[in-house]
Amino acid sequence: KGRGWNIAESRLDTLHDTAREMRRTPTEAQAKLHEALTAAELGKYRFRRQVVIGSAIVDFASQSLKIAVEIDEADANPELDR
């Protein structure tokens, strides 16, 4: 849990609490991508939702593939989200 990042324990606790809340209330784009990743036949590879990496929370991450996916919803463009 946050080893090697030199982040205060209280900050890590806050990040993990925030990530947990984000998993409970995903945006529409996050829910759609989660459905697609779950339905995909990825073999041994798994993507986890709302993962704390350092002092950031990424939308999806695969530790074995070393890939992090962040959905940019700042523009709130429904075409891009779809």
CA neighbor of 60 nearest in space, from 21, 19, 17: 19
* Model confidence pTM above 0.75: yes
Q: What is the pLDDT of residue 48?
A: 95
Q: List per-block mean pLDDT (blocks of 10 residues) for the chain, which spans 82 residues.
A: 74 92 93 94 93 90 93 63 50
Q: What is the pLDDT of residue 26?
A: 93
CA neighbor of 36 nearest in space, from 22, 24, 47: 47
Q: What is the pLDDT of residue 6?
A: 80
Q: What is the pLDDT of residue 1?
A: 56
CA neighbor of 30 nearest in space, from 66, 67, 69: 69
